[in-house]
């Protein structure tokens, strides 16, 4: 799941969310995470996080690593168990301060995608 704040629904197969985040100049900052687990909190596979628009004043790194999933309902029991997932990190160019933007896309249900638009305010 891309941890985003506002959501715009587009066609039934996709949705778009926007988020504003703060990042310290030159510091690696978590901007997205996704996982695919079964009802027993076991890893199924690594879902894709695709970069639609790269940041202009930094870089976006996508890595596989253990994470704590954020879930609702019955699946919330998995929140205390580290599972294998996909994580996105943003790092600004060294010394850069100002605005940056990136867009990522990831599946969130069978046959559906979520596009995340991240506006980044880079500070010293």
Domain assignment present for 56: yes
CATH of the domain at 12: 2.60.40
Write down the pTM of the prediction: 0.82
- At 17-74, the pLDDT tens digits run 999 999 999 999 999 998 999 889 999 999 889 999 999 999 999 999 999 988 776 6
Domain assignment present for 71: yes
Domain that holds residue 23: 6-123
Query: Number of folded domains in the chain?
Result: 1
- At 85-106, the pLDDT tens digits run 999 999 999 999 999 999 999 8
Residue 104 tokens, joined:
């990522």
Kindly write down the DSSP assignment for every residue of 9-45, as one continuous string.
Answer: E-STTEEEEEEEEEEETT--EEEEEEE-B-TTS-B--
Domain assignment present for 61: yes
Domain assignment present for 1: no
Domain assignment present for 68: yes
């Amino acid at each position: 799941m891309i941890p985003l704040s506002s959501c715009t629904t587009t066609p039934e197969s996709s949705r778009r969310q926007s988020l504003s985040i703060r990042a310290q100049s030159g510091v690696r900052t978590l901007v997205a995470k996704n996982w695919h687990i079964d009802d027993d909190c076991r890893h199924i596979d690594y879902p894709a996080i695709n970069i639609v628009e790269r940041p202009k004043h930094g870089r976006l790194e996508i890595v596989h690593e253990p994470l704590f999933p954020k879930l609702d309902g019955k699946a919330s029991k998995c929140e205390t168990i580290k599972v294998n997932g996909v994580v996105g990190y943003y790092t600004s160019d060294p010394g850069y301060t100002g605005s940056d933007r990136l867009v990522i896309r990831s599946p969130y249900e069978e046959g559906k995608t979520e596009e995340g638009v991240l506006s980044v305010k880079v500070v010293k």
